[in-house]
Amino acid sequence: MDRVITIPALGDNFIYLYQYREGRALAVDPGESSRVLRVLRERRLKLGMILVTHHHGDHTAGVAELKRETGCVVGGPAARHQAGLDHSLVDGQILTAAQKPIKVIATPGHTRAAVCYYVQGSDAGRAGMLFTGDTLFVAGCGRIFECDAAAMWESLRRLARLPDDTLVYPGHDYTVENLEFALTIEPENQAVGDRLRQVRQAIAAGGNTVPSTIAQEKLTNPFLRVDSLEIREALKMSAAPAAQVFAELRRRKDVF
Ligand SMILES: [Fe+2]
């Protein structure tokens, strides 16, 4: 019964509704409320919970209205700017309201208080799911606003250690631009070119570019590939520590 509904919003945001129990959904990063309320009505789902990954308005602007309309509870990382939280969540915490445990993974980098949500897979072969906010994107990662590059690198490494088949649900659709950047850094990486073609086809057919998987990200996301010889040679950083290669990649992406 695991079902994730992807709701594109605000141009390039993704809001997710995860049906965590029969007839009940939780919303991840509702940057607006009206589309979420409409989908809830159409699917006859009750909103039980909102989980936010970080305090930015394009991930939280719908929280107050959704809470008012549905009486749901709101969880997220404790942050100075974060209003309306019922539960301040910390690293390693396990949420048990859903049929499957949801683990909170702290991922500072984009913002100081930032978390991802990991829904474990099942022994029956069902893949886990990871809601990554503005930490990990398809073929990219978030800009570093409140921390240093080393913190973001450490957060991404934690995510990359999750099982390969984990489905990745990021907070934005920057997929095409990210893959185009990846190709400039690693033009010989066939997987990047293949992925870009697949993604363009999916968009042309009216589909979304999510979810990805951890395995796909390890093959095509330059920010998880700082050990690639081609990347290191492109950056002229053959012997540099991984965190420095990551920082240089992020710097280049900022001005891409
Ligand atoms: Fe953000």
Whichever domain contains 51, its CATH number is 3.60.15.10
State how many domains the chain has. Answer: 1
Q: State the residue range of the domain holding 174.
A: 3-254
Catalytic: which of 29, 54, 55, 173?
54
pLDDT at 181 over 80: yes
**Average of per-residue pLDDT values in the chain:** 95
Q: Is 134 a catalytic residue?
A: yes
CA 229 to chain CA centroid, Å, is 27
* Phi, psi angle pair for 254, to nearest 5°: -60, -30
* pTM (two decimals): 0.96
Which pairing describes strands 24-28 and 46-51: parallel, antiparallel, or unpaired?
parallel
Q: At what angle do helices 242-254 and 149-160 cross, to 10 degrees?
A: 110
Task: Read off the tokens for 218.
Answer: 């390890």
Q: Ligand 1 centre and the CA of 111: distance in Å?
A: 7
pLDDT at 124 over 80: no
Q: Ligand 1 centre and the CA of 123: distance in Å?
A: 34
Beta bridge partners of 9: 13
Q: How far apart are CA 197 and CA 194, in angstroms?
A: 5
Q: How far apart are CA 46 and CA 66, in angstroms?
A: 11
Catalytic: which of 2, 29, 55, 59?
59
Look at residue 196 in the predicted model and tell me its pLDDT.
97
Q: How far apart are CA 31 and CA 97, in angstroms?
A: 23
| pLDDT tens-digit readout, 34-93 | 999 999 999 999 999 999 999 999 999 999 999 999 999 999 998 766 678 999 999 999
